């Protein structure tokens, strides 16, 4: 099988996507990516990330593959849970403190190792994409911790949406709040909205 066919086969078996680091594993030179782009088989969706032209590039999948150590969080996670109906201008991803990200499309958040794993889950999206995110309660902890960095109206809407959800877990929320040292603050917001 020639190199172009090997590359196409890999892309087809990788949900129509390839990142440049995959080329090293395949022992294929970057020029073959350029050839596939010139033939309009692939398009570059971001530096180092290529997707088949006929496919709609799922941004969650793209960013999860580019930033494997990151976890979708904050307002981006709220979109995954249906609390926000639009994505923010930047994707929120949380990383360990020792990682640094410089991408204008990413709003990076940093936490220590112990807090990084709190509430970490994998979520299957409608198109079958599996992404790493935080559960709903951890997401709410992140939102409450960042409350001073968002519009009051948006923050209040998020709290109200959470309180009205049937799948909320207030016990878990308070447990997480204790881990992050904001249990009194969380209690104030939840009591205010529940009354």
Contacts of the segment 108-112: beta carbons below 8 A, 24+ positions apart: 108/70, 109/73, 109/74, 109/142
Q: Is 125 helix (H, G, I), strand (E, B) or coil?
A: coil
Over residues 173-191, mean pLDDT: 92
pTM: 0.75
Give 14's pLDDT tier (boundaries 50, 70, 90): confident
CB 47 within 8 A of CB 67: no
Please report how the helices 136-145 and 183-194 are oriented relative to each other, as an axis angle in degrees rounded to 10: 100
Is residue 123 within 8 A of residue 130, CB to CB? The reply is: yes
Res. 19: pLDDT tops 80: yes
Distance CA 139, CA 141 (A): 5
pLDDT tens digits, 131-157: 999 999 999 999 999 999 999 999 999
At which residue do the structure tokens 């939840």 appear? 190
Give 193's pLDDT tier (boundaries 50, 70, 90): low
For the stretch 21-33, pLDDT in tens is: 888 888 988 898 8
Cite the residue boundaries of each domain of the chain with CATH code 1.10.10: 3-57
pLDDT at 153: 93
Over residues 25-58, the pLDDT tens digits come to 889 888 988 888 888 888 887 778 888 876 655 7
| Alpha carbon distance 185, 43 (integer Å) | 47
* Domain boundaries 3-57, corresponding CATH code: 1.10.10
Instruction: Say what the pLDDT of residue 115 is.
Output: 96
Q: Are 93 and 109 in contact (CB under 8 A)?
A: yes
Question: Tens of pLDDT along 119-129?
Answer: 999 999 887 77
pLDDT at 195: 47
* Strands across the sheet containing 49-52: 17-19, 49-52, 42-46
């Amino acid at each position: 099988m020639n190199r172009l066919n090997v590359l196409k086969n890999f892309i087809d078996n990788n949900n129509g996507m390839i990142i440049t680091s995959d080329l090293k594993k395949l022992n294929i030179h970057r020029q073959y990516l350029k050839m596939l782009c010139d033939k309009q088989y692939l398009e570059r969706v971001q530096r180092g990330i290529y997707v088949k032209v006929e496919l709609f590039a799922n941004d969650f999948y793209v960013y999860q593959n580019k930033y494997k150590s990151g976890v979708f969080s904050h307002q981006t996670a709220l979109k995954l849970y249906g609390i926000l109906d639009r994505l923010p201008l930047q994707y929120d991803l949380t990383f360990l403190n020792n990682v640094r990200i410089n991408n204008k499309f990413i709003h990076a958040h940093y936490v220590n190792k112990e807090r990084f794993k709190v509430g970490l889950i994998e979520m299957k999206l409608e198109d079958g994409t599996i992404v790493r995110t935080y559960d709903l309660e951890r997401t709410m902890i992140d939102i409450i911790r960042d409350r001073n960095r968002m519009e009051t109206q948006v923050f209040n809407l998020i709290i109200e949406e959470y309180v009205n959800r049937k799948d909320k877990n207030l016990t878990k929320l308070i447990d997480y709040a204790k881990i992050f040292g904001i249990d009194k603050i969380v209690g104030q917001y939840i009591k205010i909205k529940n009354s």
